[in-house]
Amino acid sequence: MGSESFEPLRTRYRTVFISDTHLGTKGCRSDFLADFLGKVSCDTLYLVGDIIDGWRLKKSWYWDSHHDEVLRLILRMARDGTDVVYIPGNHDEMFRAWLPMKLEIAGVRLCRDAVHETADGRKFLVMHGDSFDSVVRYARFLALLGDRAYVAALVVNRWFNALRRRLGLPYRSLSAWLKRQVKGAVMAIDRFEHALADEARGRGLDGVVCGHIHHAEMRDIGGVLYINDGDWVESCTALVEHEDGRLELIDWAERNRLSFLQRRVTQLEERRIAELAERRIAEIAARHISNIA
Ligand SMILES: [Mn+2]
């Protein structure tokens, strides 16, 4: 019966793709995700991997009412006729063992990968993307290393060099090393994007939709459309297909202005701390240099 007393106006799409929600972790923006899922409806919903984070199950499991709400909304979509396709990623690889059974639970179909045909007849390979990890190891390491870790590294850098100075060793910049790592990560992301585009091309398809590297993107790579639907840990992004087949990346955090502003303040604060730390390191370095001179 109509116990869900108030039905909000939903934006209708032909298809919605989300991945890397990492439900079960504190990092998951399940509040934004529940808000998004409650405001859209679609014929097909692709869950493109790393939806439930099973890796954390063994360590520290985090679950609150927003996580519940996300699952409830997905199951309700399935019940109301949305074709929900669950493609396991590496963090929810426990579901991969069930693939041979062609499992369908509560209207959610489990598939290794899929081919999605848009309304305008283009065919897309849909896969998580972790099978191309060999080209992207670098970036995975850096995905974990967020801004905050960078700030922490700058502090470590100070102690690291204080120790080096005491041992009579010259100053060595840890932040310069990190910057080189970032450059390496950019190159690794490029390799990942090319590898997935090549896979789609090899299968004679028009493009690929993937996730895994938490980096939303839509671009042409040698005549193949590479699309990454991003994540719901850092960027809160989804890929949608409109009724006419047009594909669009949606940044839900940016649309939700208030929250977006809050995020910006945090980022600004973090940058300020990073700048202070860097200035402090420069001071220490200068002092160190003058000690030698
Ligand atoms: Mn992944």
Nearest to 231, CA basis, from 261, 264, 258, 253 = 253
Measure 242 CA to ligand 1 centroid, in angstroms.
26
Q: How many other C-beta atoms lie within 10 A of the C-beta of residue 144?
A: 9
Measure 47 CA to ligand 1 centroid, in angstroms.
12
Measure 1 CA to ligand 1 centroid, in angstroms.
39
Measure 89 CA to ligand 1 centroid, in angstroms.
5
Measure 219 CA to ligand 1 centroid, in angstroms.
20
Measure 23 CA to ligand 1 centroid, in angstroms.
13
Q: Are residues 229 and 21 in contact, defined by beta-carbon separation less than 8 angstroms?
A: no
Please enumerate, as own/partner, the contacts of 234-239 that have beta carbons within 8 Å and a separation of 24 or more. Answer: 234/146, 236/29, 236/32, 236/33, 236/36, 238/16, 238/17, 238/18, 238/36, 239/16, 239/17, 239/18, 239/209
Tokens of 114: 């899929």
pLDDT the model gives residue 238: 98
Tell me which range, 48-57, 61-70, 179-188, is most confidently predicted by mean pLDDT.
Answer: 61-70
pLDDT band at residue 284 under the 50/70/90 scheme: low
Give percent of the chain with pLDDT exceeding 70.
74
| pLDDT, average across residues 92-102 | 84
Q: How far apart are CA 149 and CA 142, in angstroms?
A: 10
| 22 three-state secondary structure | coil
pLDDT band at residue 215 under the 50/70/90 scheme: confident
What domains are there in the chain, each with its CATH number? 13-292 (3.60.21.10)
Q: How far apart are CA 91 and CA 125, in angstroms?
A: 20
Measure 91 CA to ligand 1 centroid, in angstroms.
6
Measure 255 CA to ligand 1 centroid, in angstroms.
25
Nearest to 21, CA basis, from 33, 38, 4, 35 = 33
Measure 231 CA to ligand 1 centroid, in angstroms.
10
Residue 96 in this model has a pLDDT that exceeds 70: yes
pLDDT the model gives residue 55: 72
Tokens of 185: 């990560």
Range with lowest mean pLDDT among 128-137, 198-207, 242-251: 128-137
Q: In three state form, how does the secondary structure of 118-145 look? A: CCCCCEEEECCCHHHHHHCHHHHHHHHC
Strands 11-18 and 237-241: antiparallel
Per-residue model confidence as pLDDT tens digits over 123-168: 999 999 999 877 666 555 555 555 556 566 667 777 877 888 888 8
Measure 82 CA to ligand 1 centroid, in angstroms.
24
Measure 210 CA to ligand 1 centroid, in angstroms.
10
Measure 84 CA to ligand 1 centroid, in angstroms.
19
**Entry pTM:** 0.76
